Amino acid sequence: MRKKVTVVGSGNVGATAANWIAAKELADVVLLDVVEGVPQGKALDLLQAMPIEKRDCNIVGTNDYADTANSDIVVITAGIARKPGMSRDDLLNTNFKIMSDVVAKAVAASPNTILIVVSNPLDAMAQTAFKQAGLPRERVIGMAGVLDSARFRTFIAQELNVSVENVTAFVLGGHGDTMVPLPRYSTCAGIPVTELLSKDQIDAIVKRTANGGAEIVSLLKTGSAYYAPSAAAVEMAESILKDKKKILPCAAYLEGEYGVNGLYVGVPCKLGARGLEQIIEINLTAEERIALQKSAASVQELVNVLGI
Ligand SMILES: NC(=O)c1ccc[n+]([C@@H]2O[C@H](COP(=O)([O-])OP(=O)(O)OC[C@H]3O[C@@H](n4cnc5c(N)ncnc54)[C@H](O)[C@@H]3O)[C@@H](O)[C@H]2O)c1
């Protein structure tokens, strides 16, 4: 039997995630939204691309959670996105209500599912999903680090004029201005980038990475990034669906790891068939540890506002 992935929210990120899943022939896709007609129309359109792309995926659009029953994975992109001048945190209260509603219905229809949370502010929304779902932490994972590290990798590859395939990069912490890019653990063909780029070059790349989402929001003016965010969520889904056991930076519910307890923060995670299979603890310098704690504190502030 083919795997089944539900994508909740058929806006920019959700519809593009459906597109990547189908293009990679990872699973059948159910696209769900509160708006009538849009998920149905986008699903039908994408389905009609399958003969051209030579992919056998069924793609269904719906407003009814009954159609999502027994999904292996539910990717949640429902909610409002940023506009110029808005921070991710400005989305907090609206997206909290949406997330709570979506998770209750999605988990009722698919009690064995794994949730990948995408809606912002990411870490607080992952925490909301975790508390609402009542699932073990292995099955509620947030997407941010894969995107942030992809941005970091892009800029490193550009600066070095090398293939993006040569570049790995690590970004820890919450998905926001306090994220913690780690140049020491970022490499080109196995060589730490700290050996290949000057401090000034690295500082500029780190700054652009942390500002990566806002740079795109200010260009688009009517929405936020979606090609790379959806590709990032689908890389996580692929690692789970194929039990690849990739180590990816994801938002996970920490229970003492990195000195953080009871909070979603971005850390290196092994993703396989059981979802979050391991949190990898790496050594941090005192400076990096302080930056991570600062990032966790800003997630905690939002979680406190929500009282969850
Ligand atoms: N984690 C990340 O790195 C990251 C990156 C990019 C975007 N995002 C976030 O992802 C979310 C989606 O972004 P987008 O650009 O696709 O926005 P969008 O406005 O294009 O799409 C959001 C969709 O959610 C739907 N929706 C609203 N309430 C719903 C509900 N209760 N149930 C089902 N669907 C509902 C809307 O109708 C809309 O179609 C935003 O919160 C954005 O900030 C996160």
- Identify the residue whose C-alpha is closest to ligand 1 atom 39: 11
Long-range contacts of 132-139 (CB under 8 A, 24+ apart): 132/99, 132/100, 132/103, 132/104, 132/107, 133/103, 133/107, 134/107, 135/107, 137/252, 137/253, 137/255, 137/276, 138/114, 138/274, 138/275, 138/276, 138/277, 139/113, 139/114, 139/115, 139/275, 139/276
Q: Which residues of the chain have pLDDT under 70?
A: none
Q: Are 248 and 239 in contact (CB under 8 A)?
A: yes
Q: Tell me if 41 CB under 6 Å of ligand 1.
A: no
What percentage of residues in the chain have a pLDDT greater than 90? 94
Per-residue pLDDT at 81? 84
Q: Tell me if 77 CB under 6 Å of ligand 1.
A: yes
| 68-90 burial code (b ≥16 CB/10 A, e <16) | beebbbbbbbbbbbbeeeeebbe
Distance from C-alpha of 90 to C-alpha of 217, rounded to nearest angstrom: 14
Residues designated catalytic? 175
Q: How far is CA 94 from the centre of its chain?
A: 19
Task: State whether residue 194 is helix, strand or coil.
Answer: helix
Per-residue pLDDT at 176? 82
Tell me: the pLDDT tens digits for 58-114? 999 999 999 999 999 999 999 998 888 888 889 999 999 999 999 999 999 999 999
Per-residue pLDDT at 136? 98
Distance from C-alpha of 163 to C-alpha of 150, rounded to nearest angstrom: 13
Q: Tell me if 202 CB under 6 Å of ligand 1.
A: no
| Gap from CA of 206 to ligand 1 centroid (Å) | 26
Q: Tell me if 228 CB under 6 Å of ligand 1.
A: no
| Gap from CA of 77 to ligand 1 centroid (Å) | 4
Question: Which residue matches tokens 């509160």?
Answer: 34
| Gap from CA of 284 to ligand 1 centroid (Å) | 34
Q: Tell me if 102 CB under 6 Å of ligand 1.
A: yes
Distance from C-alpha of 103 to C-alpha of 281, rounded to nearest angstrom: 29
Left (φ > 0), alpha (ψ -120 to 50) or beta: where does 191 sit?
Answer: beta
Among 6, 64, 80, residue to substitute to test ligand 1 (most atoms within 8 Å of Cβ): 80
| pTM, entire model | 0.98
State both tokens at 76. Answer: 């949640």
| 139-155 burial code (b ≥16 CB/10 A, e <16) | bbbbbbbbbbbbbbbbb
Q: Tell me if 175 CB under 6 Å of ligand 1.
A: yes
| Gap from CA of 255 to ligand 1 centroid (Å) | 28
State both tokens at 235. Answer: 């890389």
The Cβ of residue 110 has, within 10 Å, a number of other Cβ atoms equal to 20
Q: Nearest Cα to 28, choosing from 70, 79, 65?
A: 70
Tell me: the pLDDT tens digits for 35-66? 999 999 999 999 999 999 999 999 999 999 99
Q: Are 98 and 31 in contact (CB under 8 A)?
A: no
